[in-house]
């Protein structure tokens, strides 16, 4: 597909701006935008409840979406796919239902320093309630975490290893398969945060052997408000419900409740069926483009962006010195200019990037800077987008009064 064919799929791209904040949320193709409308126009009824045709159809659309997610990450069963609101809720589900029930005082939860707050705060909270301890797994100066580093913080006390597949700040990827092997050797479960990996690379939960995987629909061309938790069936079976309410029960009497089978045990209340339908269409869209093509194009764009930004005086890119370690995410500092000013100047030039702490304050502290500017790509970006970014960045210091 050429640039124009790709851009045509996304109605928001009218040529008036350059979008480089896809790590925050991706733009949506027309097929996904239309899907929510189609759901409400053709299939709207409360799923999983009604015995009439429309409700049965709504249920079918919802469960078809679950099957699409299962296939997309190669889970063994749809019982292992829980729909949530987003990656944050998926991670909280594991912390509330698994950690709070199975951890005890003295146990340890290993959390990498690369984590987004959503894969740190739930563990901190679970540790506070159970008396367990959060142990940090630090990265090296370029954001890498070796298997030796993980081994060095593991012990028989470790019960959970919570680690991101790809950092939302520096784009660095962890060797999750090797990490899973280490976690299992010590009898711990591994919780992988796939928010920044599932939209950009093939993620096969059985190949990686992760126990839990969390991700959001809105970062993978799908709607906001729908997310996924994958969990191994035996673990999910052993866990109590996270939220209580409608449709997550089998029977309720005055003094006894039995819960629904997986996955419905974890989906209390009316579900986001239109969102799931939209996510299904997003998965169809990714499959139509081909994940290998998405990855290839994003690799090329990352290499191009790394080269362009590296050539800008007074700009330093955080993390690895190897462009291929950045997976579409470049976080940088411009000497003497606050990242908020950088982002505001870029916005004036209709180039949209994120500035701040990227919801990863412990990592930013570790990297020695409380705030940075971040440009993040998706496959719909073009080399022209990168050229516009580079040109806008080159103007920042002169505009701030530096005579470079
Ligand atoms: N990162 C970013 O701009 P939610 O908000 O629940 O969909 O995703 C949370 C989350 C969890 N893990 C990682 C690695 C993430 O990057 C995010 C979201 C966005 O970097 C918004 S803060």
pLDDT band at 254 (very low <50, low <70, confident <90, very high): very high
DSSP states of 302-315: HHHHHHHHHTSTTE
Q: Residue 191's beta-bridge partner residues?
A: 162, 212
Average pLDDT over residues 99-117: 98
What pLDDT is attached to residue 99?
Answer: 98
Query: Over 90: is that where the pLDDT of 17 sits?
Result: yes
Average pLDDT over residues 390-403: 97
What pLDDT is attached to residue 247?
Answer: 87
SS3 call for 317? strand
55-87 confidence digits (pLDDT tens): 999 999 999 999 999 999 999 999 999 999 999
For a pocket test of ligand 1, which of 117, 168, 224 has the largest count of ligand atoms closer than 8 A to its C-beta? Answer: 168
> Would you give the DSSP letter of residue 261?
P
CATH number of 32-287: 3.40.640.10, 3.20.10.10, 3.40.50.1100, 3.40.50.720?
A: 3.40.640.10
pLDDT band at 178 (very low <50, low <70, confident <90, very high): very high
> Would you give the DSSP letter of residue 219?
G
Query: Over 90: is that where the pLDDT of 168 sits?
Result: yes
Q: Same topology for domains 32-287 and 290-399, yes or no?
A: no
* Distance of CA 43 from the midpoint of ligand 1 (Å): 31
Question: Whose C-alpha lies nearest to ligand 1, atom 8?
Answer: 87
Residue 210, C-beta contacts closer than 8 angstroms, at least 6 positions apart: 176, 180, 190, 191, 192, 230
DSSP states of 249-297: EEEE-SS-EEEPPTTGGG--SS--HHHHHHHHHHHHHHHHH-HHHHHHH
Residue keyed to tokens 């069936």: 233
What pLDDT is attached to residue 50?
Answer: 84
Could you tell me if 379 and 289 are in contact, meaning their C-beta atoms sit under 8 angstroms apart? yes
pLDDT band at 120 (very low <50, low <70, confident <90, very high): very high
311 phi and psi, to 5 degrees? -80, -5
* Distance of CA 195 from the midpoint of ligand 1 (Å): 6
Residue 290, C-beta contacts closer than 8 angstroms, at least 6 positions apart: none
Of the candidates 316, 359, 400, 402, the residue annotated as catalytic is: 359
Average pLDDT over residues 100-110: 98
30 phi and psi, to 5 degrees? -55, -35
Q: What is the pTM of this model?
A: 0.98
Q: Which two tokens stand for residue 307?
A: 């080269």
Does residue 139 have an active-site annotation? no
pLDDT band at 404 (very low <50, low <70, confident <90, very high): confident
Average pLDDT over residues 277-300: 98
Listed in sequence order, the DSSP H helices in 74-215 are 87-93, 100-102, 121-130, 147-153, 176-185, 205-208
pLDDT band at 229 (very low <50, low <70, confident <90, very high): very high
Separation between Cα atoms, residue 239 and residue 235, nearest integer Å: 6
Question: Residue 112, class by beta-carbon neighbours within 10 Å (0-12 exposed, 13-18 middle, 19+ buried)?
Answer: buried
* Distance of CA 15 from the midpoint of ligand 1 (Å): 27
19-28 confidence digits (pLDDT tens): 999 999 999 9
Q: Which two tokens stand for residue 384?
A: 């022209």
| Count of all residues that appear for the chain in the document | 404
Could you tell me if 181 and 163 are in contact, meaning their C-beta atoms sit under 8 angstroms apart? no
Residue 264, C-beta contacts closer than 8 angstroms, at least 6 positions apart: 48, 247, 248
CA proximity to 235, closest of 257, 212, 215: 212
pLDDT band at 367 (very low <50, low <70, confident <90, very high): very high
The domain locations on the chain are 32-287, 290-399
pLDDT band at 308 (very low <50, low <70, confident <90, very high): very high
What residues line ligand 1, using a CB cutoff of 6 Å? 23-24, 86-88, 116, 118-119, 164, 168, 193, 195-196, 216, 354, 358-359
> Was domain 290-399 assigned CATH 3.40.630.10?
no
Cis peptide before 263 (omega within 30 of 0): yes
30-39 confidence digits (pLDDT tens): 999 999 999 9
For a pocket test of ligand 1, which of 23, 95, 113, 118 has the largest count of ligand atoms closer than 8 A to its C-beta? Answer: 118
Query: Over 90: is that where the pLDDT of 1 sits?
Result: no
Averaged confidence pLDDT in the chain: 97
CB atoms within 10 A of CB 46: 15
Gap between the terminal Cα atoms of the chain:
40
């Amino acid at each position: 597909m050429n640039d124009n064919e790709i851009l045509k799929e996304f109605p928001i791209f009218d040529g008036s701006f350059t979008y480089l904040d896809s790590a925050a949320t991706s733009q949506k193709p027309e097929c996904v935008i239309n899907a929510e409308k189609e759901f409400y126009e053709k299939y709207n009824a409360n799923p999983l409840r009604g015995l009439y045709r429309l409700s049965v159809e709504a249920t079918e659309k919802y469960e078809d979406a679950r099957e699409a997610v299962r296939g997309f990450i190669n889970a063994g069963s749809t019982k292992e796919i829980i729909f949530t609101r987003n990656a944050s809720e998926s991670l909280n589900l594991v912390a509330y239902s698994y950690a709070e029930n199975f951890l005890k005082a003295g146990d340890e939860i290993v959390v990498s320093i690369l984590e987004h707050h959503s894969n740190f705060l739930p563990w901190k909270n679970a540790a506070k309630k159970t008396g367990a301890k959060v142990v940090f797994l630090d990265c090296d100066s370029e954001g890498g975490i070796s298997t030796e580093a993980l081994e060095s913080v593991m012990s028989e006390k470790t019960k959970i290893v919570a680690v991101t597949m790809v950092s939302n700040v520096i784009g660095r990827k962890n060797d999750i398969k090797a990490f899973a092997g280490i976690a299992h050797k010590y009898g711990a479960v591994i919780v992988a945060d796939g928010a920044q990996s599932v939209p950009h690379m093939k993620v096969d939960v059985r190949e990686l052997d992760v126990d839990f995987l969390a991700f959001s629909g809105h970062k993978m061309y799908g709607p906001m408000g729908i997310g996924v938790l994958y969990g191994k069936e035996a673990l999910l079976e052993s866990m109590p419900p996270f939220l209580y309410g409608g449709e997550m029960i089998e029977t309720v009497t005055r003094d006894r409740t039995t819960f629904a089978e997986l996955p419905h045990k974890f989906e209390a209340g009316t579900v986001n069926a239109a969102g799931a339908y939209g996510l299904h269409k997003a998965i169809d869209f990714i499959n139509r483009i081909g994940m290998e093509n998405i990855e290839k194009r994003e690799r090329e764009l990352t290499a191009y962006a790394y080269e362009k930004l590296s050539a800008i005086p007074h700009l330093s890119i955080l993390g690895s010195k190897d462009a291929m370690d950045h997976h579409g995410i470049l976080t940088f500092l411009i000497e003497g200019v606050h990242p908020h000013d950088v982002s505001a100047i870029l916005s004036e030039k209709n180039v949209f990037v994120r500035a701040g702490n990227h919801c990863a304050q412990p990592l930013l502290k570790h990297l020695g800077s409380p705030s940075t500017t971040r440009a993040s790509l998706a496959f719909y970006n073009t080399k022209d987008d990168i050229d516009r970014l580079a040109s806008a960045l080159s103007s920042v210091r002169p505009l701030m009064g530096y005579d470079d």
